[in-house]
Amino acid sequence: MRTKIYKINSDAVDLGRIREAAEIIRNGGLVAFPTETVYGLGADAQNPDASRKIYAAKGRPSDNPLIVHISRFADLRRIAEEVPGEAERLADAFWPGPLTMIVKKNAAVPCETTGGLDTVAVRMPKHPIALALIRESGRLIAAPSANTSGRPSPTLAAHVAADLEGRIPMILDGGEVGIGIESTIIDLTEEIPVILRPGYITEAMLKKAVGTVRTDPGILSADSGIRPKAPGMRYRHYAPKAELVVVDGEREAVIQRINDLTERMQAHGKRVGIIGTDETAAAYRGDVIRSIGSREDEEAIAKHLYRILREFDEDQADIIYSESFATPRMGQAIMNRLLKAAGHQVLSV
Ligand code: TXA
Ligand code: MG
């Protein structure tokens, strides 16, 4: 299959191209498109065959449910068995935006889309291309991140093409995404809303909107022995080809330790990659050194993480050492992804 790749200007969306993409969705096909978090791989959420195509293209386990993307709040009522009061308050505060809500589903949503669960994940994205595609298709769009299962989520259309070119009919290229890590997921089917995946919308922000909120203990630490509730959070995601080790501590001690480890590895003929920051990159002596951005700018750190992990796959590092990025606001979301990529290998110095 030849994959059409269309560049679309997010500030002046070319509706002709969007209509062509919408036609593919209506006919049960797949279109990759940008959202404000990461690129998604979209299909008609109410067409079981279309959902199956998503799983096949990604190589995704069929028990890992998809997020249904909508363009107006009224569509939540069309697919939810009941819309809890919190959903309205959260939508007022954060939709369109990087928040996914889990609610009880009704019969309008096929089990193929929800991995057999009786709940459904719903999000109204903010990206103008995503919203235009949903509206023009006249459908609800099921979309996981547009990567091959197990690879980092795509933050550029080139990442989507690297994973899926030849397997899907169309990629809408809207340039680099704004946030760079996937949406926050909040489960509204329990007594107290539960965060199943941390993201740009933090626990503090959610509490302000709905009062009490808790975080799924399954995502807080690797060795808690508690299974995360979101099926996708149980898999070892985002694993780079090289071994990845996070080194945590005071800045100077981290630099010293990473340089010591680097010297030892290089003496064994190993090629060493390092993930540092604008402030520290010059102090390292690895073979490939990448700065994730300034430590003062946590939004840049979130936005660059997946691209940097992908870049290391290209240049054949044997081992990668990364600084830790437990930044004040998005630190939990960033470290959740980084630690998963590292298989929870952390050295504290
Ligand atoms: O930012 C995002 O959310 C991106 C963009 C494309 O919208 N999408 C995304 O989708 O990250 P995906 O499929 O990569 O991650 C969806 C996560 C998985 O961990 C999945 O297990 C969880 O949401 N999920 C979906 N439906 C669920 C449900 N009914 N109950 C619990 N977890 C659910
Ligand atoms: Mg994903």
CA distance 261 to 26: 54
**More confident position, 151 or 41:** 41
DSSP 3-state assignment of 281? helix
Is the domain of 292 the same as that of 255? yes
**Residue 336, ligand 1, Cβ within 6 A:** no
Q: What tens digit of pLDDT does each residue of 248-284 get? A: 999 999 999 999 999 999 999 999 999 999 999 999 9
Is 232 domain-assigned? no
To the nearest whole percent, how much of the chain has pLDDT over 90? 91
Question: Measured in angstroms, how far is the CA atom of residue 3 from the centroid of ligand 2?
Answer: 21
**Residue 184, ligand 1, Cβ within 6 A:** no
Burial class of residue 168 in the structure, from the number of CB atoms within 10 Å of its CB (0-12 exposed, 13-18 middle, 19+ buried): buried
The neighbouring-strand residues paired with 273 are 288, 320
Taking each helix axis as running N to C, give the angle between helix 15-26 and helix 128-137, from 0 to 180 degrees, rounded to the nearest 10: 50
Question: Measured in angstroms, how far is the CA atom of residue 263 from the centroid of ligand 2?
Answer: 35
Is the domain of 197 the same as that of 98? yes
User: Given pLDDT bands bounded at 50, 70 and 90, which one contains residue 236?
Assistant: low
Assigned token pair, 175: 């340039």
Judged by its nearest atom, the ligand closest to the C-alpha of residue 125 is: 1
User: Given pLDDT bands bounded at 50, 70 and 90, which one contains residue 239?
Assistant: confident
Cα-based angle 178, 221, 238 (whole degrees, multiple of 5)? 45
- 35: CATH: 3.90.870.10
pLDDT score, position 245 = 97
Is the domain of 328 the same as that of 203? no
Is the domain of 193 the same as that of 269? no
Burial class of residue 279 in the structure, from the number of CB atoms within 10 Å of its CB (0-12 exposed, 13-18 middle, 19+ buried): middle
Is the domain of 249 the same as that of 186? no
As a whole number, mean pLDDT of residues 102-127 equals 97
Q: What tens digit of pLDDT does each residue of 62-71 get? A: 999 999 999 9
- 291: CATH: 3.40.50.11030
pLDDT score, position 223 = 64
**Residue 34, ligand 1, Cβ within 6 A:** no
pLDDT score, position 255 = 98
**More confident position, 211 or 238:** 211
Is 43 domain-assigned? yes
pLDDT score, position 215 = 96
Is the domain of 52 the same as that of 145? yes
Residue 235 host element (H or E):
none
CA distance 4 to 252: 48
pLDDT score, position 222 = 66
Which of 67, 140, 183 to mutate for ligand 1's pocket (most ligand atoms within 8 Å of CB)?
Answer: 67
Question: Measured in angstroms, how far is the CA atom of residue 347 from the centroid of ligand 1?
Answer: 30
pLDDT score, position 225 = 75
Question: Measured in angstroms, how far is the CA atom of residue 134 from the centroid of ligand 1?
Answer: 17
Contact 38, 159 (CB under 8 A): no
**Residue 130, ligand 1, Cβ within 6 A:** no
Is 59 domain-assigned? yes
Tell me how many domains the chain contains. Answer: 2
Is the domain of 194 the same as that of 254? no
Is the domain of 219 the same as that of 247? no
**Residue 228, ligand 1, Cβ within 6 A:** no
User: Given pLDDT bands bounded at 50, 70 and 90, which one contains residue 234?
Assistant: confident
Domain residues for the domain of 92 are 4-226
Is 231 domain-assigned? no
Q: How far, in Å, are 68, 73, 78, 129, 142 from residue 139 at the CA level?
A: 10, 14, 12, 15, 9
Question: Measured in angstroms, how far is the CA atom of residue 156 from the centroid of ligand 2?
Answer: 14
Q: What tens digit of pLDDT does each residue of 192-230 get? A: 999 999 999 999 999 999 999 999 998 876 666 788 999
Is 316 domain-assigned? yes
Is 72 domain-assigned? yes
